[in-house]
């Protein structure tokens, strides 16, 4: 019995009313914060993807500039040489072979038949790589030569990174030296772009975390404010009911003061309850007077 009373004392009308107000509010707040966080994550991913795309375009433009600069470097030799001037070709190849840029960047040269003319890996020079395939089956040298013959263009393919020796996706630009039947090109590795994006990803991660924390703190502050306001309103609303309940209990036990009245401060259902109790107490008082008389 005592256990049931304790349970009823805890799960009273005030607790039920507060739960009725706060539980839906808590659920709605959690859903809104979750949606806000999801939108922030999606926005961050889209921004990073856009930044990577712009960085890739910038790197590709730089790669193209390097190729055009390499072509300009041998222009005095090329322009004054004939199609079969082997001595001029050797001098041009030596210049192109010596060009370095960025972090391990280099120029490669292939004949249109796929034979290597100049490469950072001297062991490849003189070898025909027209049939060389990437792990995904791409004939990358053939594609680069086709781009060169068509006036220049980019091609993506996997190739060993000079810094790590591991195969990485590479974006290469190639142009043609038609008089000599050469394809001249260079490229940039995707891993280099991803490394350059590391700082942007870290910043985006920090901003995302701060945004989520800010949303949570704002939601908690609003939830606390609403909880305090709801608690005050519930207590204010239930005060007349508690007063009526205590007075009725006192009267029912035979120790009640029938002169007690509940102050009616509202005109809602609670006010009507208080008025009803006051009328009940007044009639009970009149009845007792008549009986005593």
Q: Do 177 and 91 share a structural domain? A: yes
Q: Do 270 and 203 share a structural domain? A: yes
| Euclidean distance between CA atoms 98 and 119, whole angstroms | 9
Q: Which two tokens stand for residue 11?
A: 């799960």
| Euclidean distance between CA atoms 276 and 262, whole angstroms | 10
Please return the burial class of 180, using the count of CB atoms within 10 Å of its CB with bins 0-12, 13-18 and 19+.
buried
Look at the alpha carbons of 293, 245, 238, 235 in this order and tell me if their dihedral is positive or negative. positive
Domain count within the chain: 2
| Euclidean distance between CA atoms 138 and 169, whole angstroms | 12
- The answer as to whether 68 is a domain residue is no
Residue 255's pLDDT is 59
Which residues, at least 6 apart from 148, have a Cβ–Cβ distance to it below 8 Å? 112, 174, 175, 176, 183, 184, 185
Neighbour count for residue 55 (Cβ, 10 Å): 16
Q: Which two tokens stand for residue 175?
A: 């142009």
Q: Do 241 and 259 share a structural domain? A: yes
| Euclidean distance between CA atoms 223 and 26, whole angstroms | 7
What residues form DSSP beta bridges with 101?
A: 105
Q: CB of 60 within 8 A of CB of 209?
A: no
- The answer as to whether 143 is a domain residue is yes
The length of the chain is 293
Q: Do 123 and 16 share a structural domain? A: no
CATH of the domain at 92: 3.30.450.20
Q: Which two tokens stand for residue 52?
A: 């990577």
- The answer as to whether 147 is a domain residue is yes
Residue from 285, 130, 216 nearest 277 by CA = 285
Task: Please report, in tens digits, the pLDDT of each residue of the chain (293 residues total).
Answer: 445 544 546 667 777 777 887 888 888 888 888 888 888 888 888 888 888 788 888 888 889 999 999 999 999 999 999 999 999 999 999 999 999 987 778 999 999 999 999 998 899 999 999 999 887 888 999 999 999 999 999 998 887 777 777 888 888 999 999 999 999 999 888 777 777 677 777 777 888 888 888 888 888 888 888 888 888 887 777 777 777 677 667 666 655 566 666 666 667 776 777 777 778 778 877 777 777 76
Q: Do 94 and 182 share a structural domain? A: yes
Q: Do 205 and 177 share a structural domain? A: no
- The answer as to whether 183 is a domain residue is yes
- The answer as to whether 185 is a domain residue is yes
Neighbour count for residue 213 (Cβ, 10 Å): 10
Instruction: Examine the fold and report which residue of 196, 216, 251 is the final residue of a domain before the chain moves on.
Output: 196
- The answer as to whether 58 is a domain residue is no
Q: Which domain holds residue 92?
A: 74-196
Q: Do 206 and 165 share a structural domain? A: no
Q: Do 122 and 173 share a structural domain? A: yes
Instruction: Examine the fold and report which residue of 152, 180, 196 is the final residue of a domain before the chain moves on.
Output: 196
| pTM (2 d.p.) | 0.59
| Euclidean distance between CA atoms 141 and 184, whole angstroms | 11
Q: Do 93 and 153 share a structural domain? A: yes
Residue reference for tokens 């394809």: 183
- The answer as to whether 54 is a domain residue is no
Q: Do 179 and 83 share a structural domain? A: yes
Residue 293's pLDDT is 62
Q: Do 121 and 83 share a structural domain? A: yes
Q: Which two tokens stand for residue 284?
A: 């009970």
Q: Do 190 and 108 share a structural domain? A: yes
Residue 1's pLDDT is 46
Residue 178's pLDDT is 95
- The answer as to whether 286 is a domain residue is yes
| Euclidean distance between CA atoms 62 and 173, whole angstroms | 10
Instruction: Examine the fold and report which residue of 168, 196, 224 is the final residue of a domain before the chain moves on.
Output: 196
Residue reference for tokens 């839906």: 24
| Euclidean distance between CA atoms 4 and 8, whole angstroms | 6
- Report CA-CA distances (Å) from 246 to 242, 249, 252: 6, 5, 10
């Amino acid at each position: 019995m005592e256990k049931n009373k304790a349970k009823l004392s805890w799960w009273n009308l005030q607790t039920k009313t507060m739960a009725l107000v706060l539980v839906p509010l808590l659920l709605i707040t959690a859903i809104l914060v979750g949606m806000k966080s999801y939108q922030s994550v999606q926005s961050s991913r889209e921004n990073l993807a856009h930044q990577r795309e712009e960085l890739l375009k910038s790197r590709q433009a730089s790669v193209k500039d390097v190729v055009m600069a390499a072509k300009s470097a041998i222009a005095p030799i090329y322009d004054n040489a004939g199609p079969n001037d082997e001595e001029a070709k050797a001098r041009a190849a030596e210049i192109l072979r010596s060009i370095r840029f960025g972090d391990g960047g280099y120029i490669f040269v292939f004949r249109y038949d796929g034979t290597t003319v100049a490469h950072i890996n001297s062991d490849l020079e003189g070898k025909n790589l027209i049939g060389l395939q990437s792990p995904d089956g791409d004939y990358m040298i053939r594609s680069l030569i086709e781009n060169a013959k068509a006036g220049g263009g980019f091609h993506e393919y996997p190739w060993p990174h000079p810094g790590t020796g591991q195969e990485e996706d590479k974006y290469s630009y190639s142009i043609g030296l038609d008089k000599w039947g050469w394809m001249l090109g260079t490229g940039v590795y995707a891993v280099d772009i991803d490394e350059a994006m590391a700082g942007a990803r870290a910043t985006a991660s920090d901003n995302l975390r701060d945004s989520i924390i800010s949303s949570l703190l704002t939601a908690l502050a609003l939830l606390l404010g609403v909880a305090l306001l709801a608690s005050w309103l519930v207590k204010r609303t239930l005060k007349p009911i508690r007063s009526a309940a205590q007075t009725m209990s006192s009267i029912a036990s035979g120790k009640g003061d029938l002169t007690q009245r509940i102050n009616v401060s509202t005109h809602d259902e609670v006010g009507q309850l208080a008025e009803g109790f006051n009328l009940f107490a007044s009639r009970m008082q009149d009845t007792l007077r008549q009986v005593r008389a």
